[in-house]
Amino acid sequence: MRSLCLNGYCKPSEYEVLEILTPQIISPNQVLIKVHAASLNPGEIAIASGSFRAFMSTPFPIRLGYDVSGTVIATGAAVTGFSAGDEVFSCLPWEYRGSSISEYVLAPDSSLAYKPKNLTHIEAAALPLVSITAVHTLQRVKGGVAGKTALITSGLGGVGSVTCQLAKNVYGAANIITTVSTSKVPKVEQTLGKGVVDQVIDYQKTDILKAISHRSIHFVIDTTGTGFQLPLLSKSNSTFVTISGLPSGKNAKESIPGVSLFVVLLLDALHLISRLQAWLYGVKYESVLDKANGTLLTRIASWAEEEKLRPVVGTVIPFETQALRDACTMIASNKGGFGKVVVKIL
């Protein structure tokens, strides 16, 4: 089968789609999926470039792809919830990553959910990792989200676009403020739906620290890693949740199998520094590291079917080396993206 497969750490401009063996079920809880669509995430591109090699070992060849939507081809002997022909989607757990930018992929049944009936495979593939991450960030908000004023950065990025929708439509936030680049300002309402975002700040023209009254925000969800001054805006006793900083050692231990004790302790020490900085403003600092979860994905599918959550598919690319190189170079630059880049595999 064809798969995006790298023989060593490299830049996106060196990526290749290669011919490799089709995976076979080897454990009773596994499901073999024919991939229809898969989406790209910045984290996997950073791992493939070697950015995290000090923290985690990556077996070679490196393969990319955490998110998948497709059809079940075969199931292991212990799988009861899914059978051949079912349309499913998944965020693969760490030990199965990445491999969804491929014609076939194996996943444990615990990471799967039925694809939302109202979505195409392209749309469904845009949801898993960013939605799971969004839910985990919102669950970290001290005292809950309902009725509160939130700053959620990058409202048209992969995670930001989903977090804004879930915060308003599912968790009941009262006011959402977001940041986007100049050309995206007019696109926020048409993309996320009327009333989801209450205030859009053009971060390229406006200093966010001047645009928002200090001490007015109940919680911040930082998706850009640029938020170290944002606690200034937060009310005391509020929460600052980041997905872009380093995870805590506890997060890493829960999500990454085999992470070393040294790395766990180092991450906890670094995390403590960020927590202390936020504490000086009276703000609780939290970080999130995504973790595959089929049960949560089933809830996410129902929110999509109830139209509380729209996937934001910015670009659909063919399953070809040059298209993947170009898309991943853009994602790695952290500029210019719109929602998710989805690879059409079938």
Residue 253 CB, nearest approach to ligand NAP (Å): 14
In the chain, which ranges are continuous DSSP H helix?
A: 42-48, 121-125, 128-139, 158-169, 187-192, 208-211, 249-255, 261-279, 294-305, 321-333
CB of 167 to ligand NAP, least distance (A): 15
DSSP state of 319: S
* Contact residue for ligand NAP among 31, 32, 43, 145 (CB under 6 A): 43
Does 297 contact ligand NAP by CB under 6 A? no
Min dist. Cβ of residue 114 to ligand NAP (A) = 23
* Chain centre distance of CA 243: 9
- Residue 18 CB, shortest distance to ligand NAP, in Å, is 25
Q: Measured from the CB atom, is 20 or 323 closer to ligand NAP? A: 323
Give the C-alpha separation, 158 to 154, whole Å: 8
Is residue 20 a contact partner of residue 5, using CB atoms and an 8 Å limit?
yes
Q: Which residues contact 230 (CB under 8 A, 6 or more apart)?
A: 151, 208, 217, 220, 222, 240
Give the nearer residue to ligand NAP in terms of CB position, either 70 or 247. Answer: 247
User: Interacting stretch for ligand NAP, rule CB under 6 A, among 99-107, 127-135, 164-172, 270-278?
Assistant: 127-135
Nearest distance from residue 194's CB to ligand NAP, in Å?
21
**Residue 110 and residue 78: Cα distance in Å, rounded?**
11
Comparing every residue's Cβ against ligand NAP, the nearest one is 157
Contact status: 149 vs ligand NAP (CB under 6 A):
no
Give the binding range for ligand NAP (CB under 6 A) out of 90-98, 142-150, 265-273, 331-339.
331-339
Site string for ligand NAP, 175-194 (x = CB under 6 A): ----xxx--x----------
Beta bridge partners of 116: none
CA-wise closest residue to 86 among 112, 47, 49, 52: 112
Q: Which of 113, 243, 256, 309 binds ligand NAP (CB under 6 A)?
A: 243
Does residue 63 touch ligand NAP according to CB under 6 A?
A: no
Cβ-based nearer residue to ligand NAP, 79 or 196: 196
- With CB under 6 A as the contact rule, the residue among 99, 102, 244, 293 that binds ligand NAP is 244
| Burial degree of 343 (CB within 10 A; 0-12, 13-18, 19+) | buried
Q: How many CA atoms lie within 13 A of 8 on its CB side?
A: 0
Please report how close the Cβ of residue 265 comes to ligand NAP at its closest, in angstroms: 19
Q: Counting Cβ atoms within 10 Å, is residue 18 exposed (0-12), middle (13-18) or buried (19+)?
A: middle
Kindly identify the residues of this chain, within the stretch 218-237, that bind ligand NAP according to CB under 6 A: 223-226
The answer to whether 34 contacts ligand NAP (rule: CB under 6 A) is no
Select the residue interacting with ligand NAP from 70, 116, 158, 249 (CB under 6 A): 158
The 3-state DSSP class for residue 111 equals helix
| Interacting residue ranges for ligand NAP, rule: CB under 6 A | 41-43, 129-130, 133, 153-154, 157-160, 179-181, 184, 203, 223-226, 243-244, 288-290, 331, 334-337
